[in-house]
């Protein structure tokens, strides 16, 4: 699998110095290799996108919409292969991999509809001064670099790629080196649809490739999803070029459970929020705030639910949770288990790696975790839940907001007026009330504080790839 880069409408072999080993995390064994793109190949990809931009942004909106619908249809035709690859390379259970694919399909369909409405967005602007007229145009921002993570490949790239193409931008996409294979489907689909060469380019690689793209002076915008440490580097690169950037970064999100909540229902929401994708989500609700009146009933049931989860290889077993996606992430989560022991945290469930091949850890619950504990304040990116009790609504809001992150939160209460009030008070970008983390393409995605800059999905996702031009004319 050496021809893994899609540049100017052609599949080419990697010429970089890094060899990328693609691994099955359930076995801890590689199953594919590919060579990274070189810096010169990144240059070629950006040049191809720049060359394709004038024609692509001039295509009528209905033509771009037709291509987007084609992407949605082609993804559906590749369903079994893409679901299986998600299971094998990410370790996702089948039901999660299927939801990911459906999410990507829905995203392309949604932005096809928005693309068709673009001509109606041109409008005349009323002016107070006589003798002038003014109008607005929404134009594509230009050539954009898209850097996506390993925890939701195919999905995160769809969230960026679909609105960028709908807006009339051309793109260079860099997948994660941990999961570089599945995004190749987008290049294959581009070929099948006859997408003009250079509109979509895909370069795979490690840090060198990512730095070459994020530092490239041929980009007009950069959109990045990933860790805060890398995001800060991306932001520095963007600042040097004075270019716009969208950053979707980390989280340390809270789930707040009030004492009027149904215990069994609350357990379901809590478990889903921390074990989906083995907790490898920026939106994982890893801080549990449970009201005093329900804590003694809820925590034992939560402990039992976590201990009864079926953890295993999704390709050979019916499982609720798969492995961590990489050895590096497995080692990171294991280091937090060690920190918990050093801090003397009370562990009700899990707290250890599983003694089997592959990168498995146990779903974990710590209780009465101090607010200054590293496990309470730092993003772990694994199925590790920390719980604290609270007495009042005011205390719950204060502790939920006491974080350098502000991505999402969940509120569980039978009192809907209170739930809405708390949701409004939480300093985050998205709140669920009495629900699992259902994400819809029509809603926005993004956070406050250290969780990033900008929004994806919904009309806000399209706006991220558009610039506003005003045309003012003197009538004299």
What averages of pLDDT result for each successive group of 10 residues across the chain (476 residues)? 84 94 96 95 98 97 97 98 97 98 98 90 81 92 98 97 98 97 96 98 96 96 96 91 94 98 97 98 98 98 98 96 98 98 98 96 98 98 98 98 98 98 98 97 97 97 95 90
Instruction: Provide the phi-psi class of 346: left if phi over 0, else alpha when psi is between -120 and 50, else beta.
Output: beta
pLDDT at 168: 97
Residue 376: how many other CB atoms lie within 10 Å: 21
d(CA 340, CA 383) in angstroms, rounded, equals 14
Question: What are the backbone dihedrals phi and psi of residue 304, each rounded to the nearest 5 degrees, phi first?
Answer: -65, -40
Residues 6+ apart with CB under 8 A from 111: 68, 162, 163, 165, 166, 461, 462
pLDDT at 236: 92
pLDDT at 358: 97
Q: Which residues are catalytic?
A: 248, 282
pLDDT at 209: 96
pLDDT at 2: 52
User: Structure pTM?
Assistant: 0.96
pLDDT at 476: 79
pLDDT at 118: 87
Domains of the chain: residue spans and CATH: 5-249+451-474 (3.40.605.10), 254-440 (3.40.309.10)
pLDDT at 128: 84
């Amino acid at each position: 699998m050496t021809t893994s880069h899609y540049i100017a409408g052609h599949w080419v072999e990697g010429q970089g110095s890094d060899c990328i080993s693609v691994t099955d995390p359930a076995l801890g064994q590689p199953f594919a290799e590919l060579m990274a793109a070189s810096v010169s190949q990144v240059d070629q990809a950006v040049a191809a996108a720049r060359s394709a931009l004038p024609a692509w942004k001039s295509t009528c909106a209905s033509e771009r919409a037709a291509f987007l619908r084609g992407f949605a249809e082609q993804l559906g035709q590749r369903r079994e292969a893409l679901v299986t690859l998600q299971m094998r390379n990410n370790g996702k259970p089948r039901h999660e991999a299927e939801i990911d694919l459906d999410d990507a399909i829905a995203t392309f369909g949604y932005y096809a509809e928005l693309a068709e409405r673009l001509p109606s967005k041109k409008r005349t602007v009323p002016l107070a001064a006589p003798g002038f007229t003014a109008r607005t145009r929404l134009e594509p921002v230009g050539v954009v670099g898209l850097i996506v993570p390993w925890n939701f490949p195919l999905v995160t790239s769809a969230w960026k790629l679909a609105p960028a193409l709908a807006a009339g931008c051309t793109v260079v996409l860099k997948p994660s080196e941990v999961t570089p294979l599945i995004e190749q489907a987008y290049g294959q689909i581009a070929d099948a649809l006859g997408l003009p060469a250079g509109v979509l380019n895909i370069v795979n690689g490690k840090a060198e490739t990512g730095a070459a793209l994020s530092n490239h002076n041929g980009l007009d915008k950069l959109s990045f999803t990933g860790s805060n440490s890398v995001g800060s580097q991306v932001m520095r690169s963007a600042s040097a070029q004075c270019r716009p950037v969208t950053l979707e970064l980390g989280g340390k999100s809270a789930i707040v459970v009030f004492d009027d909540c149904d215990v069994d229902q609350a357990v379901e929401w809590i478990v889903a929020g921390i074990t989906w994708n083995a907790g490898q989500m920026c939106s994982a609700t890893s801080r549990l705030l449970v009201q005093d009146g329900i804590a003694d009933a809820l925590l034992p049931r939560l402990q039992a639910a976590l201990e009864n989860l079926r953890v295993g290889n999704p390709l050979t077993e019916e499982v609720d949770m798969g492995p961590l996606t990489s050895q590096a992430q497995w080692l990171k989560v294991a280091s937090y288990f060690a920190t918990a022991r050093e801090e003397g945290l009370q562990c009700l469930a899990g707290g250890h790696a599983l003694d089997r091949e592959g990168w498995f850890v146990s779903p974990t619950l710590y209780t009465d975790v101090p607010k200054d504990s590293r496990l309470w304040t730092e993003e772990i990116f694994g199925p590790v839940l920390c719980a604290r009790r609270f007495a009042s609504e005011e205390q719950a809001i204060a502790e939920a907001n006491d974080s350098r992150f502000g991505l999402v939160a969940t509120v569980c209460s039978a009192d809907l007026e209170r739930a809405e009030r708390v949701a409004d008070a939480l300093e985050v970008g998205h709140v669920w009330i009495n629900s699992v983390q259902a994400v819809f393409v029509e809603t926005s995605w993004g956070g406050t504080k250290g969780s990033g800059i900008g929004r994806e999905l919904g009309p806000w996702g399209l706006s991220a790839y558009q610039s506003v031009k005003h045309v003012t004319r003197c009538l004299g």
